[in-house]
Amino acid sequence: MNNNSSTNENTPSQNQDNITDTDNDATLHNIESSKKKKKKNIIIGIISFLVIIGAGTYFYLDYKSNETKVYVADDNEEEKVGTIPDEYIYKEHEIEYPGAYNRFFVIAEYKNLPLNYQNGILKFLSENDKGDEGFSFVSKIPSRAKNIYCFGNFSGENNVGNNKDIAFIAEYNNYKTSRLVIMNANGDLLFTKEYSSLPIINSFKKGSKIYTGERKLVKSDYDGIILKEPDTKYVIIYDGKSKQFVEHYQYTENDLREYNHYSEEEECTDCDSVDTTEYN
């Protein structure tokens, strides 16, 4: 009886071996778990890295493909590509002709024009674009830009602020001829005339003294536009009787001397005529 009991019971040495085997199994399990976890983290890291690289590449390519372009013609009328400041980039929901914006507004001097006038100019230039032979634009020369548009109540509607009429010079791509355009604040065309030069313009107020055909200064009935070419000056003003815009040559002092109208010469010297000193 006692011998059987001794046979079924483990010795302390055997128990210790069993405990050691159990510990070894646990250690191996922990090592395997640690390896799997490390491998998983490595895989996650690689995937994350690839995602970041892919996203960065996508946004870079998207940025380059949508980079805003400016076209500046040189002496050979070849297009050069550049970029413009972010603040000059149009907002598509505000500009009615976004595709034409950077084509016609090449320089940043026009960015402060109220949007209704920008849209009006873009509308005219887009609708009158006839390709290479009839392509027109507003001046690309920063120092000239301020002298190719002006505002006023040219049609006598007594509009104020952003509701005034606008006049501007559209230049043709031969860089020799141009067109004067007058439109209201809604972009509706009021008057247009071609010129064989590249004049500059300014506006004058109602009541300014101008020549309207005769060599005698009279007060203007409306706001008007004074157009200066290299050797001549003209006034474009609305005629309330004929209901249309008319152009009047403005006599110079030399013109008056040639006609020997000394009294009119004296009047021209002393009168409150349109200030055109900035054009001299």
123: in domain: yes
Residue 269 makes CB contacts below 8 A (sequence gap 6+) with: 253
Q: List Cα–Cα distances, 112 to 87, 109, 164, in angstroms.
A: 11, 7, 16
Quote the percentage of the chain above a pLDDT of 70: 62
Q: Are 229 and 247 in contact (CB under 8 A)?
A: no
Q: Which residue would you say has higher pLDDT here, 48 or 191?
A: 191
* Helix/strand number for the chain, H first, E second: 7, 13
Residue type, 5: S
Q: Which residue would you say has higher pLDDT here, 30 or 191?
A: 191
22: in domain: no
Nearest CA-CA partner of 186 in 123, 98, 110: 123
Q: Which residue would you say has higher pLDDT here, 207 or 31?
A: 207
12: in domain: no
216: in domain: yes
Q: What is the pLDDT of residue 48?
A: 78
What number is the average pLDDT over the span 217-243? 95
> Which pLDDT band holds residue 86 (cuts at 50, 70, 90)?
very low
Cβ neighbours around 126 below 10 Å, total: 15
Q: What is the mean pLDDT of the chain?
A: 75
**What is the C-alpha to C-alpha distance for residues 191 and 240, in angstroms, rounded to an integer?**
14
Decide if pLDDT at 215 tops 70. Answer: yes
3: in domain: no
Task: Indicate whether 152 and 263 sit together in one domain.
Answer: yes
60: in domain: yes
Task: Indicate whether 40 and 120 sit together in one domain.
Answer: no
Task: Indicate whether 40 and 135 sit together in one domain.
Answer: no
Q: Which of 71-85, 133-147, 217-231, 250-264 comes out lowest in average pLDDT?
A: 71-85
Task: Indicate whether 259 and 168 sit together in one domain.
Answer: yes
Task: Indicate whether 62 and 118 sit together in one domain.
Answer: no
Task: Indicate whether 53 and 153 sit together in one domain.
Answer: no
Task: Indicate whether 48 and 119 sit together in one domain.
Answer: no
**What is the C-alpha to C-alpha distance for residues 36 and 83, in angstroms, rounded to an integer?**
52
Q: What is the pLDDT of residue 271?
A: 52
Residues 49-73 have pLDDT tens digits of 787 887 767 666 554 444 433 323 2
The answer to pTM > 0.95 is: no
71: in domain: no
Domain range for residue 62? 36-66
What number is the average pLDDT over the span 125-144? 81
Q: What is the pLDDT of residue 148?
A: 96
Q: Of 27, 47, 66, which residue constitutes the final position of a domain?
A: 66
CA angle 170/109/125 to nearest 5° reads 25
Task: Indicate whether 118 and 244 sit together in one domain.
Answer: yes
Residues 153-162 have pLDDT tens digits of 999 887 777 7
Decide if pLDDT at 37 tops 80. Answer: no
Read off φ and ψ for residue 17, nearest 5 degrees. -65, -40
Using only C-alpha atoms, the chain has a radius of gyration, in whole angstroms, of: 40
134: in domain: yes
Domain count, the chain: 2
Structure token pair of residue 280: 């001299």
Q: Are 21 and 28 in contact (CB under 8 A)?
A: no
Residues 97-130 have pLDDT tens digits of 666 777 788 888 998 899 899 989 988 988 887 6
Structure token pair of residue 214: 């005769």
Q: What is the pLDDT of residue 256?
A: 83
Decide if pLDDT at 211 tops 90. Answer: yes
Q: What is the pLDDT of residue 53?
A: 80
**What is the C-alpha to C-alpha distance for residues 208 and 107, in angstroms, rounded to an integer?**
33
Residue 118 makes CB contacts below 8 A (sequence gap 6+) with: 95, 101, 105, 110
Task: Indicate whether 41 and 124 sit together in one domain.
Answer: no
**What is the C-alpha to C-alpha distance for residues 45 and 265, in angstroms, rounded to an integer?**
89
Task: Indicate whether 211 and 130 sit together in one domain.
Answer: yes
> Which pLDDT band holds residue 147 (cuts at 50, 70, 90)?
very high
Task: Indicate whether 139 and 210 sit together in one domain.
Answer: yes
Structure token pair of residue 177: 């001829």
Quote the percentage of the chain above a pLDDT of 90: 36
Structure token pair of residue 274: 């349109």
